[in-house]
């Protein structure tokens, strides 16, 4: 009898996992109606942490949505490789010089604001920034998110058959410096144009504190100016007040921006679009280590996000909170603040909260995070997908590891794992459409 009861309970639990669905879905009605009609462009903003920055999840979701509803553009991207970070297999970015750069999880006093992508990069010299997209991601419109103080500064757009990456190389030298009182650990990495991970590798157990000798890797970009021979300067213009749009007469998959002068050049993100009357744009904001609280640190972040006029905002955060000692009270306050930031412009803004999946490092806390998010969604009247149970609940990560879909770090997944998760989210959205 006892065994029979257990089997019934297990069957109910598995059934719940399999059929977990989006709740409060009525709050997504404006978004769903727009997709069904599909006679205008639908903008989706997808916010997340390192699970999203890698790009594998949202790339799969974007391709599926655009195959069904049309391609209105690649959407929002950040040149992660220029900022010495990971992400975006499908877009190659390179520059002919170094940039100070941070993501919003870091303590820094170099940049007073952080914009739409949760990243910032800046320098004070004439520079080239090159984006190379796949042929199927061709665009005829680029929206540049930048610092307002760049207003009226001149810039050019160049065209060439060459690739900038073939004309630069990096020179790296390990040097020992003395830690200064007012320089944070992330600021040292940025000043050296290296990563915090590399600094940890070089110094291992050496504590980072003022007065200590510390190794750093100084990186310089060596640029061969032969690249500029034969380039075609197709546009000369000036930056607007924080958001600048560049349009082209025909589609292209290469964007080469040249900043002029020695002022402050500060960029937050680039959006690649198609001039079309319908289709989907999936704008991805993924920041390694990010939490709900991080996205409300800087006023400009939400301001520029809201400038997208998104028809749906998806928020997939919570993993990093599960690895911390955050309390229920503080977690809920942080989540509510971010939700309020999107509803400030439009109280009926469709928002979908997606809970994090299982991980090995914080199996118990991740279950609590899932419960807290469900309660927040109900209280704040936003849609919610119990992704924790939808993907398998407790033990999902170990099973994914056995299937070679997860990373051995106990938290992250591999490309097949993220694609399987994106497929599940896509299926849940399509169910709501009734087809």
Residue 10: what pLDDT?
Answer: 38
HEC readout, 208-254: CCCCCEEEEEEEEEEECHHHHCCCEEEEEEECCCCEEEEEEEEEECE
In a domain, 10, yes or no: no
Residue 8 placed within a domain = no
Q: Of the residues 275, 295, 319, which one is the last residue of a structural domain?
A: 275
CATH code of 234's domain: 2.60.120
Distance CA 185, CA 197 (A): 11
Phi, psi of 381 (to 5 degrees): 60, 50
At residue 395, does pLDDT exceed 90? yes
Per-residue confidence (pLDDT) for residue 435, from 0 to 100: 61
Assess whether 83 and 200 both reside in one domain.
Answer: yes
What integer best gives the mean pLDDT of the chain?
Answer: 93
pLDDT at 18 exceeding the cut of 80: no
Contact 158, 232 (CB under 8 A): yes
Whether 37 and 251 have beta carbons less than 8 Å apart is answered as no
Contacts of 187 (CB under 8 A, 6+ apart): 108, 109, 110
Q: Report yes or no on 14 lying in a domain.
A: no
Query: Global pTM?
Result: 0.93
Asked if residue 153 and residue 266 are part of one domain, the reply reads yes
Q: Are residues 242 and 268 in the same domain?
A: yes
Together in a domain, 111 and 260: yes
Q: Is 4 domain-assigned?
A: no
Q: Which residue is associated with the tokens 């082209």?
A: 248
CATH number at residue 282: 3.40.50.1110
Which two three-digit tokens encode residue 324?
């911390």
Query: In total, how many domains does the chain have?
Result: 2
Per-residue pLDDT at 3: 44
The answer to the question of residue 239 being in a domain is: yes
Q: Could you read off the pLDDT of 155-201 as tens digits, one per residue?
A: 999 999 999 999 999 999 999 999 888 899 999 999 999 999 999 99
Rounded Cα distance, 381 and 131, in Å:
40
Which helix (H) or strand (E) segment holds residue 364: the answer is helix 363-380
Residues 249, 233, single domain; the answer is yes
Residue 16 lies in a domain: no
Same domain, 336 and 227: no
Where do we find the tokens 């991601």? 137
Please report the pLDDT score of residue 107 as a whole number.
87
286 and 412 share one domain: yes
Domain that holds residue 309: 22-72+277-435
66 shares its domain with 92: no
**Per-position DSSP letters for 246-310, written without gaps between them:** EEEEEEESEEEEEE-SSS-EEEEEEEEE---SSEEEEEEEE-TT--TGGGGSSHHHHHHHHTT--
The Cα–Cα gap between 139 and 141 comes to 6
**DSSP code string of 106-159:** S--SS-S---TTSEEEEESS-EEEEEEE-GGG-EEEEEEEE-GGGTT-EEEEEE
User: Residue 218 domain-assigned?
Assistant: yes
Residues 104 and 212 in one domain: yes
Q: What are the pLDDT digits (tens) for 92-116?
A: 999 999 999 999 999 899 999 999 9
* Contact between 254 and 131 (Cβ < 8 Å): yes
Q: Give the residue from 250, 275, 300 where a domain finishes.
A: 275
Give residue 262's pLDDT.
87
- Strands 139-146 and 243-252, by their bridges, are antiparallel
The verdict on residue 170 lying in a domain is yes
Q: Could you report the per-residue pLDDT of 206-252, keeping only the tens digit for each?
A: 889 888 899 999 999 999 999 999 899 999 999 999 999 999 999 99
Of the three residues 229, 251, 275, the one that is the final residue of a domain is: 275
Task: Assign residue 260 a region (left: φ > 0; alpha: ψ between -120 and 50; beta: otherwise).
Answer: beta
- Model pLDDT for residues 70-87, shown as the tens digit of each residue: 999 999 999 999 999 988
Q: CA-to-CA distance for 99 and 108, rounded, in angstroms?
A: 15
Pair 360, 238 in one domain: no
Same domain, 288 and 262: no
The answer on 88 and 146 residing in a single domain is yes
């Amino acid at each position: 009898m006892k065994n029979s009861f257990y089997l019934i309970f297990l069957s109910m639990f598995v059934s719940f996992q399999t059929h977990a669905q989006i709740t409060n879905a009525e709050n997504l009605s404006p978004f769903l109606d727009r997709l069904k009609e599909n006679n205008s462009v639908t903008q989706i903003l997808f916010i997340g942490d390192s699970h999203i920055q890698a790009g594998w999840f949202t790339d799969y979701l974007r391709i599926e949505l655009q195959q069904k509803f049309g391609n209105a553009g690649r959407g929002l991207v950040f040149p992660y490789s220029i900022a010495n970070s990971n992400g975006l297999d499908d877009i190659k970015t390179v520059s002919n010089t170094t940039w100070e750069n941070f993501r919003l999880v870091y303590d820094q006093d170099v940049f007073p604001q952080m914009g739409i992508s949760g990243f910032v990069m800046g320098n004070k010299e004439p520079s080239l920034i090159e984006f190379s997209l796949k042929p199927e991601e061709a665009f005829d419109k680029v929206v540049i998110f930048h610092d307002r103080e760049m207003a009226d500064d001149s810039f050019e757009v160049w065209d060439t058959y060459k690739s900038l990456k073939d004309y630069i190389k990096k020179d790296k030298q390990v040097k020992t410096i003395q830690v200064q009182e007012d320089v944070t650990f992330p600021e040292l990495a940025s000043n050296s144009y290296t990563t915090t991970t590399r600094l940890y590798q070089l110094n291992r157990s050496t504590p980072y504190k003022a007065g200590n000798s510390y190794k750093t890797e100084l990186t310089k970009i060596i640029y061969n100016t032969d690249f500029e021979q034969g380039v075609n300067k197709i546009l000369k213009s000036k930056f607007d007040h924080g958001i600048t749009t560049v349009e082209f007469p025909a589609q292209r998959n290469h964007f080469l921006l040249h900043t002029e002068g020695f002022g402050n050049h500060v960029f937050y993100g680039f959006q690649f679009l198609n001039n079309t009357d319908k289709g989907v744009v999936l704008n991805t904001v993924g920041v390694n280590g990010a939490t709900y609280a991080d996205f409300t640190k800087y006023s400009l972040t939400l301001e520029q996000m809201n400038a997208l006029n998104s028809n749906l905002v998806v928020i997939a955060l919570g993993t990093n909170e599960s690895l911390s000692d955050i309390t229920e009270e503080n977690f809920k306050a942080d989540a509510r603040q971010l939700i309020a930031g999107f509803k400030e412009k439009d109280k009926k803004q469709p928002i979908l909260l997606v809970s994090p999946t299982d991980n090995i490092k914080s199996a118990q806390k991740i279950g609590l995070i899932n419960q807290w998010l469900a309660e927040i969604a109900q209280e704040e009247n936003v849609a919610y997908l119990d992704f924790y149970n939808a993907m398998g609940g407790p033990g999902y990560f170990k099973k994914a590891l056995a299937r070679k879909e997860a990373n051995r770090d106990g938290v992250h997944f591999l490309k097949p794992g993220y694609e399987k998760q994106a497929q599940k989210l896509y299926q849940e959205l399509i169910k709501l459409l009734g087809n």
